Structure 1
Amino acid sequence: MSMQVLSSWPVEQRRQVRGILTDIDDTFSSHGKLTVAALAALDRAKTAGLRRIAVTGRPTYWTLPLLRLCDFDAVIAENGASAFWLDEEGRQQAIYYADAATRSQHRQRLLDFADIMRRHFPDVLPAADAAQRIGDLAFDIAENIPAIPLSQLNEVVALIREHGFHATTSSIHAHASVAPFSKQSMSLRVLHEVFGVDDDDAKKTYVFIGDSANDASMFAHYPLSVGVANIRKYLDRFEAHPAYVCQAECGEGFVELVDFLLKDKNE
């Protein structure tokens, strides 16, 4: 798929947008940090009436600050393992991919596999946020270590799959899970069950913005999809590329998208 610049996005489609689904790492955040500009853009989107849903590979226990401090309308974590939102009374609600007993069994299998990964790739260790996860196990491939070569990453993914786990990668982590959840499957469920938006409507009125391979299910599903500029580093890792691409990278790309959409609303 050939990505187009944002300015080529037909205005008739852009004006139908009612919500933004956004990845976090290196899409909403910039090199591991949240910027004032990105948070301000998120607030401008809210003021304009756009629903804002974070869809991240980060752990379940990251959802509370994203939900309450950043003020997202909902947060999907661990590439679809869990989702959180506030009800009309401000009480936190949640969806998990499986019940607690099943999740505990899956967790033990993943912890056992971590020993296997360590024997094959001593430098590829569980991510710093591994203990905060309930559905998958993330391995550090570029967050706190120099980025491993693509050839080695392919071997890491192959090892995960050889042992019967599902695998996906982000710009910083390789993820292993027992169950085949995804960002897309949980997004569909949250939009429908929590916000009453059916999938056909979501495809016309929600835009997804992301940057790497664990966003592929979203790029494939949502016709209104955008990549921040740094996605160009990872295009050879997956086939479902976004329809449009920002000029700016990371959080600046998120700001670029929001301002582009709000320009239409103000014209």
Structure 2
Amino acid sequence: MRTLSEFPADTAAKVTTVFADIDDTLTTDGRLPAVAYRALEDLFNAGFHVAPITGRPAGWCDLIARLWPVHGVVGENGAFYFAYDAKTRKMRREYFADAAERARNSARLAKIEARVLAEVPGCAISADQPYREADLAVDFSEDVTPLDAAAVTRIRDIFEEEGAIAKISSIHVNGWYGDYDKLSMSSRFAKEVLGFDLEAEKSRIVFCGDSPNDAPMFSYFPNSCGVANVADFVDQITCKPAWITAKKGGEGFVELAQKLLTSQED
């Protein structure tokens, strides 16, 4: 990882699209600081394509797509994307799996929920679970006393023992059934909403994240960026971002936005 200050201005000037995780990337200590929201708005108003790529639930994503200065949002680690057209006042909701398959998967995840709660003391089902449509989120740090690495790994292992996919974020272990992730749904979102092929344009896209579940995005985008707290997971991330900010969380995202905006002006 190289410091963001080394990001070449001519490369930054070619960037057209900014994808970003939410928790501990746009947020700082669990809150969305005004400067981070303003950075999103400044990027949006400057003509960048802007979209959060998050593990957060459908209920949150509906609000984000509707009210934030973004072109859409990929949620639940790639289970869907939502995009709101302000002119027609229509929300577009596209899912990896149809409603019937999501219902079947929910029943399978209920078994995992019971196992995790019984086998890993101190964890909890995420407070945002009622607003989810496709995955199960197990809280190990957000609203509970943080668990150690062994407990977090055990949560992931239980998902995998039941044949599910599991990813570790900075606060949750998210698990689901289905061959998707943040990257696969981001590709679909880019094609269907933003109107371009992700593979063809990936050098002009910056993804900003902070944790192990962002590894597919860090690996794919040559100009991926981690906020400073990504260093907390350096031993757990299979592929590290190309660049890293000096500050953590939302303030780190502001650094990235300022770099891109300044490069556009030069």
TM-score (norm 2): 0.96
Aligned residue in 1 for 2:140: 141
Aligned residue in 2 for 1:41: 39
What SS class does the counterpart of residue 194 from structure 2 fall into?
coil
Cα distance, 1:213 vs structure 2: 0.8
1:193 aligns with 2:192: yes
1:243 aligns with 2:242: yes
What SS class does the counterpart of residue 122 from structure 1 fall into?
coil
Within the candidate set 43, 46, 51, 2:49 is matched to: 51
Cα distance, 1:148 vs structure 2: 0.9
What SS class does the counterpart of residue 41 from structure 1 fall into?
helix
What SS class does the counterpart of residue 144 from structure 1 fall into?
coil
Cα distance, 1:71 vs structure 2: 2.2
Q: Distance in 2 between matches of 1:265 and 1:71?
A: 19
1:63-74 counterparts in 2 under 5 A? 63-74=61-72
1:171 aligns with 2:170: yes
Aligned residue in 2 for 1:209: 208
Cα distance, 1:241 vs structure 2: 0.5
Cα distance, 1:251 vs structure 2: 0.3
What SS class does the counterpart of residue 124 from structure 2 fall into?
coil
1:21 aligns with 2:19: yes
Cα distance, 1:27 vs structure 2: 0.5
Question: Per-residue displacement from partner, 1:74-128 (whole Å, max 9, x unpaired)?
Answer: 1111000111002352311011110101000101110122111112113222111
Whether contact under 8 Å (2:10, 2:263) holds in the other structure is no
Amino acid of the residue matched to residue 37 of structure 1? V
Amino acid of the residue matched to residue 65 of structure 1? L
Whether contact under 8 Å (2:120, 2:151) holds in the other structure is no
Number of matched pairs: 265
Q: Distance in 2 between matches of 1:240 and 1:227?
A: 11
Whether contact under 8 Å (2:122, 2:147) holds in the other structure is no
What SS class does the counterpart of residue 194 from structure 1 fall into?
helix
Bigger drift between 256-265 and 5-14 goes to: 5-14
Cα distance, 1:12 vs structure 2: 2.2
Cα distance, 1:180 vs structure 2: 2.7
Amino acid of the residue matched to residue 94 of structure 1? R
Q: Distance in 1 between matches of 2:64 and 2:125?
A: 23
Aligned residue in 1 for 2:126: 127
Question: Per-residue displacement from partner, 1:134-186 (whole Å, max 9, x unpaired)?
Answer: 11100001001122111221122112111111110100000111113100000
Aligned residue in 2 for 1:83: 81
Amino acid of the residue matched to residue 28 of structure 1? L
Amino acid of the residue matched to residue 78 of structure 1? E
Cα distance, 1:199 vs structure 2: 2.0
Question: Per-residue displacement from partner, 1:10-67 (whole Å, max 9, x unpaired)?
Answer: 2221111001000000101112211111111111111211110110000011012212
Q: Distance in 1 between matches of 2:112 and 2:97?
A: 20
What SS class does the counterpart of residue 175 from structure 1 fall into?
strand
Amino acid of the residue matched to residue 114 of structure 1? E
Question: Per-residue displacement from partner, 1:198-240 (whole Å, max 9, x unpaired)?
Answer: 1233312110000001111100111110000011111111211
Q: Percent of pairs identical after alignment?
A: 35
Give the aligned CA root-mean-square deviation in angstroms: 1.2
Amino acid of the residue matched to residue 181 of structure 1? Y
1:6-17 counterparts in 2 under 5 A? 6-17=4-15
Aligned residue in 2 for 1:100: 99
Q: Distance in 1 between matches of 2:206 and 2:262?
A: 15
Q: Distance in 1 between matches of 2:98 and 2:91?
A: 18
Question: Per-residue displacement from partner, 1:230-266 (whole Å, max 9, x unpaired)?
Answer: 1111111121110000001000011110001111112
Q: Distance in 1 between matches of 2:260 and 2:210?
A: 19
What SS class does the counterpart of residue 232 from structure 1 fall into?
helix
Aligned residue in 1 for 2:3: 5
What SS class does the counterpart of residue 12 from structure 1 fall into?
helix
TM-score (norm 1): 0.96
Q: Distance in 2 between matches of 1:116 and 1:89?
A: 45
Q: Distance in 2 between matches of 1:35 and 1:108?
A: 37
